[in-house]
């Protein structure tokens, strides 16, 4: 059955390419239905206020208005994580950020709905605004939410793997650095949109631009109190997601409810400004790395603290918090490790998962600090990293299981391709190179809703036409998941991509796949697809073998034929094979599913970080910095990504280069930031620039030349050896830029984004004899809980905690937390 | 109610005669009145380039153009780029080279690129980057898009020089 691969590994036009280049891909807002109405949400102008009264009478009386809804219609809360069901489709009593929805109008057209919004009278009683983590730490009251670990702290965690204090105290050098990573948003070009309707049987259907139809399905069943089996969620192809369409959203639930009440299709398409309010983007993170290092460049221990500005709701925040400390150990040997993380609520749009989910911020700090370590030890940063790369097939101090690791090869490749050795510390003043590395998950090892069910399922239908249909709940967000599904099926069954139809992201038609997030789809859906296809191949082989008079294990499926591998001329077409099998066994259908292996991390909080396989990346960035203006240009980037095996190298390269692009945006310009309106207005805390024009992102003129290398050593956990490519390659870009700026002009920018202003400030500090640095001064004194103590594997640990810290008095126990994957085991 | 306006113009070489709200933009008329939803929108404020169509051969942000301005003019949308069932070389190359990921910016970028190739047979890489700089793409990092435009330019030039 083995032999040359026909589909996997060959650069190829993606299966949905024609639809995309002809404009025929149907995005949510492209859906038009007879009698369709349009909805608009009324959003709070206050960052934090109690809703005293909502009067909808005037709006309801407006001609063309069909329905006005308020929070009273949505008493049941929801949220993506079971531990933080803290959102309502429309706020019933409190608004928590400028943009929080309080009412909705459904009307004949958008203009009428918008006009009617102005006729809704809402009386607010303003509450104290929490604008920063410092505010939220200093003032436990009023609480933004009635749940959470303490006051306005949503989540505070402490994990310790071995005696870190001893490890750092005994080190030859101790590095103590504070870094800040500003928040940024996904900015998908497609604004969120959805259409709710009743199907002819009266059941609810919701089409939505969502990365996670399964979680939207759950949220609708809960909030609308309908049997899940009577709700159909169809994920339309997403016009970009990047994590921003991974939560169930207000407008989805409102459109669904309105469609049920009115028995007419109801569309809600958000404006660009509203997309900035939906957010769920990168958490602003302040972090402190204390790292012990020996004279020969080995790390003795890392003590990491992170403080996350979570914004106004939970979203994925509990997981995000753990992610800021989960993956430090999978790149380099770190014998002892302590991680303490704290996520606070503030009155801003909620933060959540953006490409890299919680890990890019601390990866930035770690990789910049490694650059400082190399500098102090007079070591080449590439050599230093090569010396401490984590070993393959090993457990880390925090019980992440590293399988294959191509990080050393990634480093060697970018060093060779970039001419690193000739350039580092030798380029003229104003030009520099920087290197950084990273790792990312190929899917989370534990599900969000903790259960023993598969994370991904695939069904195949084969029929006498010779065509194959592959059904899977996975969601096409541009990354090419439909193409991966088809490629995996083709490779096993020996058919061509154009013979396979992918039906995806439809909760009525397709088996559950948890969604397009955490870089899980290629590995999980791919494995499920391979299993389903292998089962189909077995059925076909059983029917074909006697017909050809060939033993089953000698049959090859390739080139749309089934033939004797010993005598390729002896065979039949794939279509004939299906007909033979259908005649022998009846209708041919198979299933496949994938459940990740059990995690080695048995401690509470160990549910975040484990993955069936980790991808690895190394990047070298070259910069040109004008010392007079601080202006930074990036002419070239070299990046090598350990993908295991590229399913479609054209798409894999696109994921890597798209990551470089988005990483450069974060490194140099993208900021989701806020300001106070002047006192003569409301003084409200508002988004500084909720528009594409002023939220700067790189254009085609800003993009460097990118040299992309795919490192392919198949990982046994992945389909055909494949690991992820969509997120990991973003991570090294930001620290590599910072390290390159240091190489160019000798100043440290310990903060993202790196702007000309910050460079000039650091250059000025350097000129006046002060530390040549721009960055945060200190990490606040946080009252951490007692750490959960887990001995590392090499100190006799078994992945369990040796203590069970008592919760501090006054802290509410998180109801249902044990049912959450985010913190289970 | 807003005033209604009779609008006669050409879309993809075909005459169109419609009665539309006078305040509507070309984007709205294309998507809502003509159901040509291949033209997308990302901001409706003229900031992202997603809604680009060609008016009399030149790229225009359809979200900023009042439809009434199009009276008597020729509008080209993505629906008209493939002719006689054959994809335009730009479409072929975008499909083959991974230049369309999510596909949302793709119609606008294809039309912008077509306007460039109609003006210049052999644009340099810098010219391509400049021409596309008003069209944002969040997926690709632009590299595969630029390569696809270059390849399409070569293909168009070859087709012009070597009759098939």
pLDDT of B158:
84
Pick from A25, A29, A189: which is nearest to B48 by CB? A189
Reported as a pLDDT band with limits 50, 70 and 90, residue B163 is low
- Smallest CA–CA distance from B91 into chain A, residue: A21
Average pLDDT of span A282-305: 98
**Quick check: A188 and B141 CB within 8 A?**
no
Pick from B50, B134, B144: which is nearest to A654 by CB? B144
**Dihedral of the alpha carbons of A685, A686, A688, A689, in degrees to the nearest 10:** 180
A26 touches chain B (CB under 8 A): yes
Q: Which domain, by its residues, includes B27?
A: 4-80
Residues B54 and B95 in one domain: no
Residues B107 and B137 in one domain: yes
The fraction of chain B above a pLDDT of 70, given in percent, is 96
Average pLDDT of span B21-36: 97
Compute the mean pLDDT over every residue in chain A, rounded to the nearest whole number: 96
Q: Which of A379, A382, A403, A409 is nearest to A391 (CA)?
A: A403
CA distances, A156 to each of A151, A496, A631 (Å): 11, 51, 39
Distance from the Cα of A84 to chain B's closest Cα (Å) equals: 30
ipTM: 0.97
pLDDT of A818:
33
Model confidence over A179-229: pLDDT tens digits?
999 999 999 999 999 999 999 999 999 999 999 999 999 999 999 999 999
- Smallest CA–CA distance from A12 into chain B, residue: B96
- Smallest CA–CA distance from A726 into chain B, residue: B139
Distance from the Cα of B87 to chain A's closest Cα (Å) equals: 8
Contacts of A346 (CB under 8 A, 6+ apart): A130, A131, A132, A133, A135, A136, A144, A152, A309, A310, A311, A312
pLDDT of A819:
35
**Quick check: B103 and A478 CB within 8 A?**
yes
A239 contacts in B (CB within 8 Å)?
Answer: 40, 102-104
Pairing of strands A299-309, A337-344: parallel
Question: Do A246 and A316 meet the contact criterion of CB atoms below 8 Å apart?
Answer: yes
pTM, full prediction? 0.96
Distance from the Cα of A473 to chain B's closest Cα (Å) equals: 18
**Quick check: A188 and B146 CB within 8 A?**
no
Residue B111: give its domain's CATH number: 1.10.150.120
B95 contacts in A (CB within 8 Å)?
Answer: 13-14, 17-18, 20-21
- Smallest CA–CA distance from B86 into chain A, residue: A22
**Quick check: B87 and A32 CB within 8 A?**
no
Model confidence over A696-744: pLDDT tens digits?
999 999 999 999 999 999 999 999 999 999 999 999 999 999 999 999 9
Cα–Cα distance, A747 to A764 (Å, whole number): 10
Model confidence over A51-102: pLDDT tens digits?
999 999 999 999 999 999 999 999 999 999 999 999 999 999 999 999 999 9
A and B: number of Cβ contacts within 8 A: 171
Name which of B45, B102, B110 to mutate to probe chain A: the one with the most chain A Cβ atoms within 10 A of its Cβ.
B102
Average pLDDT of span B26-43: 98
pLDDT of A753:
98
Question: Do A785 and A807 meet the contact criterion of CB atoms below 8 Å apart?
Answer: yes
**Quick check: A657 and B144 CB within 8 A?**
yes
pLDDT of A624:
98
A697 contacts in B (CB within 8 Å)?
Answer: 136, 138
Distance from the Cα of B10 to chain A's closest Cα (Å) equals: 19
A703 contacts in B (CB within 8 Å)?
Answer: 129, 141-143
Cα–Cα distance, B153 to A723 (Å, whole number): 35
Residues B93 and B72 in one domain: no
B146 touches chain A (CB under 8 A): yes
Q: Which of B13, B17, B37 is nearest to B27 (CA)?
A: B37
**Quick check: B138 and A32 CB within 8 A?**
no
pLDDT at A666 over 80: yes
B145 contacts in A (CB within 8 Å)?
Answer: 700
Residues 667 through 696 of chain A touching chain B, CB cutoff 8 Å: 691-693
Residues 104 through 123 of chain B touching chain A, CB cutoff 8 Å: 104-107, 110
Cα–Cα distance, B16 to B13 (Å, whole number): 9
pLDDT at A292 over 90: yes
User: In the structure encoding, which two tokens stand for residue A65, read together?
Assistant: 């208005």
A272 touches chain B (CB under 8 A): yes
SS3 A578: helix
Residues B97 and B74 in one domain: no
Cα–Cα distance, B66 to B60 (Å, whole number): 11
B130 touches chain A (CB under 8 A): yes
B103 touches chain A (CB under 8 A): yes
Sign of CA dihedral A649, A653, A654, A659: positive
Model confidence over B66-121: pLDDT tens digits?
999 999 999 999 999 999 999 999 999 999 999 999 999 999 999 999 999 999 99
A223 backbone dihedrals φ, ψ, rounded to 5°: -75, -30
Residues B74 and B93 in one domain: no
- Enclosing H/E stretch for A289: strand A285-293
Partners of residue A234 on adjacent β-strands: A207, A506
The fraction of chain A above a pLDDT of 70, given in percent, is 97
pLDDT of A809:
45
Residues B154 and B102 in one domain: yes
pLDDT of A4:
86
B139 contacts in A (CB within 8 Å)?
Answer: 240, 478, 654, 658
Residues B70 and B105 in one domain: no
pLDDT at A142 over 60: yes
Helices (H), A549-648: 574-585
pLDDT of A682:
85
Reported as a pLDDT band with limits 50, 70 and 90, residue A143 is very high
B62 touches chain A (CB under 8 A): no
User: In the structure encoding, which two tokens stand for residue A106, read together?
Assistant: 């459904």
Model confidence over A406-464: pLDDT tens digits?
999 999 999 999 999 999 999 999 999 999 999 999 999 999 998 999 999 999 999 99
* Domain edge (last residue) among B45, B80, B115: B80
pLDDT of A806:
63
Partners of residue A457 on adjacent β-strands: A593
Question: Do B27 and B62 meet the contact criterion of CB atoms below 8 Å apart?
Answer: yes
B37 touches chain A (CB under 8 A): yes
Domains parsed from chain A with CATH numbers: 36-127+189-240+245-278 (3.90.1170.50), 154-185+281-446+603-774 (3.30.365.10), 453-594 (3.30.365.10)
Q: Which of A393, A800, A785 is nearest to A604 (CA)?
A: A800
**Quick check: A692 and B87 CB within 8 A?**
no
A18 touches chain B (CB under 8 A): yes
The fraction of chain A above a pLDDT of 90, given in percent, is 96
Residues B55 and B100 in one domain: no
Distance from the Cα of A26 to chain B's closest Cα (Å) equals: 8
Model confidence over A782-797: pLDDT tens digits?
999 999 999 999 999 9
Reported as a pLDDT band with limits 50, 70 and 90, residue B161 is low
Pick from A14, A190, A700: which is nearest to B129 by CB? A700
pLDDT of B88:
98
Pick from A16, A189, A237: which is nearest to B42 by CB? A189
pLDDT of B164:
46
B94 touches chain A (CB under 8 A): yes
Residue B21: give its domain's CATH number: 3.10.20.30
- Smallest CA–CA distance from A695 into chain B, residue: B47
B96 contacts in A (CB within 8 Å)?
Answer: 13, 17, 650
Pick from B103, B137, B145: which is nearest to A20 by CB? B103
**Quick check: A189 and B107 CB within 8 A?**
no
- Smallest CA–CA distance from A31 into chain B, residue: B37
B25 touches chain A (CB under 8 A): no
Residues B35 and B73 in one domain: yes
Residue found under tokens 């899917």:
A443
* Domain edge (last residue) among B80, B109, B134: B80
A479 touches chain B (CB under 8 A): yes
Cα–Cα distance, A48 to A136 (Å, whole number): 13
A97 touches chain B (CB under 8 A): no
pLDDT of A813:
38
pLDDT of A681:
87
Region of residue A683 (phi > 0: left; psi between -120 and 50: alpha; otherwise: beta): left
A721 touches chain B (CB under 8 A): no
* Domain edge (last residue) among B60, B80, B100: B80
**Quick check: A22 and B40 CB within 8 A?**
no
Residues B14 and B67 in one domain: yes
Average pLDDT of span B116-145: 97
Residues B9 and B73 in one domain: yes
Name which of A12, A17, A19 to mutate to probe chain B: the one with the most chain B Cβ atoms within 10 A of its Cβ.
A17
Distance from the Cα of B23 to chain A's closest Cα (Å) equals: 11
Residues B59 and B102 in one domain: no
- Smallest CA–CA distance from A18 into chain B, residue: B95
User: In the structure encoding, which two tokens stand for residue A712, read together?
Assistant: 């392919």
Provide the domain count of chain B.
2
Residue found under tokens 């069943």:
A221
- Enclosing H/E stretch for A471: strand A468-472
B134 contacts in A (CB within 8 Å)?
Answer: 699
Distance from the Cα of A18 to chain B's closest Cα (Å) equals: 7
Strand order in the sheet with A431-441: A431-441, A614-625, A632-642, A705-711
Cα–Cα distance, A470 to A459 (Å, whole number): 6
């Amino acid at each position: 059955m083995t032999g040359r691969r026909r589909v996997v590994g060959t650069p190829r036009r993606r299966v949905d390419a024609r639809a995309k280049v002809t404009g025929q891909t149907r995005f949510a807002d492209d859906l038009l239905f007879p009698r369709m109405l349009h909805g608009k949400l009324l959003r709070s102008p206050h960052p934090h206020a109690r809703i005293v009264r909502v009067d909808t009478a005037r709006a309801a009386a407006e001609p063309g208005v069909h329905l006005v809804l308020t929070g009273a219609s949505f008493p049941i809360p929801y949220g993506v994580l079971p531990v933080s069901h803290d959102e309502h489709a429309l706020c019933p009593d409190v608004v928590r950020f400028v943009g929080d929805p309080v009412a909705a109008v459904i009307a004949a057209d958008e203009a009428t709905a918008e006009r009617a919004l102005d006729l809704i009278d809402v009386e607010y009683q303003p509450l104290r605004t929490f604008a920063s983590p410092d505010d939220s730490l200093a003032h436990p009251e009023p609480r933004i939410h009635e749940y959470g670990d303490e006051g306005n702290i949503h989540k505070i965690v402490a994990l310790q793997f071995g005696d870190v204090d001893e490890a750092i105290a005994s080190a030859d050098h101790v590095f103590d650095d504070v870094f800040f990573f500003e928040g940024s948003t996904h900015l998908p070009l497609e604004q969120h949109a959805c259409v709710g309707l009743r199907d002819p049987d009266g059941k609810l259907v919701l089409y939505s631009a969502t990365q996670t139809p399964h979680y939207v399905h759950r949220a609708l069943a809960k909030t609308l109190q309908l049997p899940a089996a009577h709700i159909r969620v169809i994920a339309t192809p997403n016009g970009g997601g990047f994590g921003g369409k991974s939560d169930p959203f207000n407008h989805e639930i409102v459109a669904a409810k309105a469609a049920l009440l009115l028995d007419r299709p109801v569309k809600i398409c958000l404006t660009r400004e509203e997309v900035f309010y939906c957010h769920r983007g990168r958490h602003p993170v302040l972090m402190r790395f204390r790292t012990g290092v020996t004279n020969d460049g080995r790390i003795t221990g890392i003590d990491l603290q992170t403080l996350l500005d979570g914004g106004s709701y939970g979203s994925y925040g509990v997981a995000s918090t753990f992610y800021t400390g989960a993956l430090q150990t999978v790149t380099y040997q770190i014998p002892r490790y302590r991680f303490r993380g704290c996520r606070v609520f503030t009155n801003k749009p909620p933060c959540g998962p953006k490409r890299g989910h919680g890990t890019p911020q601390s990866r930035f700090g770690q990789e910049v600090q490694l650059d400082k370590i190399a500098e102090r030890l007079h070591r080449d940063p590439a050599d230093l990293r090569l010396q401490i790369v984590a070993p393959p097939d090993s457990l880390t101090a925090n019980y992440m299981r590293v399988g294959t690791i191509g990080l050393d090869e990634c480093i060697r490749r970018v060093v060779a391709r970039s001419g690193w050795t000739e350039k580092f510390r030798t380029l003229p003043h104003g030009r520099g190179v920087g290197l950084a590395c990273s790792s990312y998950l190929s899917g989370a090892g534990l599900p969000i809703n903790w259960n023993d069910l598969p994370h991904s399922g695939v069904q195949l239908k084969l029929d006498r036409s010779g065509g194959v249909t592959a059904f899977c709940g996975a969601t096409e967000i541009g990354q090419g998941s439909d193409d991966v599904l088809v490629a995996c099926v083709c490779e096993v069954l020996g058919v061509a991509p154009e013979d396979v139809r992918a039906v995806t992201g439809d909760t009525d038609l397709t088996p559950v796949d948890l969604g397009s997030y955490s870089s899980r789809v290629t590995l999980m859906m791919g494995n499920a697809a391979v299993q389903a296809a292998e089962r189909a191949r077995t059925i076909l082989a059983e029917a074909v073998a006697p017909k050809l008079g060939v033993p089953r294990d000698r049959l090859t499926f390739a080139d749309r034929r089934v033939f004797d591998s010993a005598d390729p001329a002896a065979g039949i077409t794939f279509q004939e094979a299906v007909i033979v099998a259908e005649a022998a066994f009846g209708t041919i259908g198979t299933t496949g599913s994938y459940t990740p292996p059990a995690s080695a991390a048995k401690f509470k909080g160990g549910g975040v970080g484990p993955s069936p396989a980790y991808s690895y990346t190394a990047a070298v960035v070259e910069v040109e910095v004008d010392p007079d203006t601080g202006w930074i240009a990036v002419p070239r980037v070299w990046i090598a990504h350990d993908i295991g095996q590229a399913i479609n190298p054209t798409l894999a390269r696109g994921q890597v280069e798209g990551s470089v692009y988005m990483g450069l945006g974060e490194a140099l310009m993208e900021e989701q930031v806020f300001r106070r309106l002047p006192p003569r207005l409301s003084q409200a805390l508002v988004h500084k620039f909720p528009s594409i024009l002023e939220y700067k992102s790189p254009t085609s003129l800003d993009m460097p030349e990118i040299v992309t290398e795919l490192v392919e050593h198949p990982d046994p956990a992945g389909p055909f050896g494949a690991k992820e490519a969509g997120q990991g390659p973003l991570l090294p870009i930001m620290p590599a830029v910072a390290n390159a700026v240091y190489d160019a002009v000798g100043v440290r920018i310990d903060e993202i984004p790196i702007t000309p202003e910050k460079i000039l400030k650091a250059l000025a500090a350097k000129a006046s004899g002060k530390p040549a640095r721009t960055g945060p001064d200190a990490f606040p004194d946080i009252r951490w809980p007692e750490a959960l103590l887990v001995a590392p594997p090499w100190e006799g640990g078994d992945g369990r905690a040796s203590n069970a810290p008592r919760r501090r008095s006054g802290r509410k126990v998180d109801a249902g937390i044990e049912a959450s994957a985010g913190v289970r085991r | 109610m807003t005033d209604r306006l009779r609008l006669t113009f050409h879309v993809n070489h075909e005459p169109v005669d419609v009665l539309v709200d006078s305040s509507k933009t070309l984007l709205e008329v294309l998507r809502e009145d003509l159901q040509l939803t291949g033209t997308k929108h990302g901001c409706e404020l003229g900031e992202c380039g997603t809604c680009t169509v060609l008016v009399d051969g030149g790229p225009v942000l359809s979200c900023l153009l009042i439809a009434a301005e199009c009276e008597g003019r020729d509008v080209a949308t993505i629906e008209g780029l493939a002719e006689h069932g054959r994809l335009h070389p730009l479409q072929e190359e975008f499909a083959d080279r991974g230049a369309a990921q999510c596909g949302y910016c793709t119609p606008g970028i294809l039309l912008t690129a077509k306007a460039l190739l109609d003006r210049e047979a052999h644009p340099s890489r810098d010219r391509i980057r400049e021409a596309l700089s008003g069209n944002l793409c969040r997926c690709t990092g632009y590299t595969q898009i630029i390569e696809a435009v270059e390849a399409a330019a070569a293909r168009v030039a070859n087709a012009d020089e070597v009759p098939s």
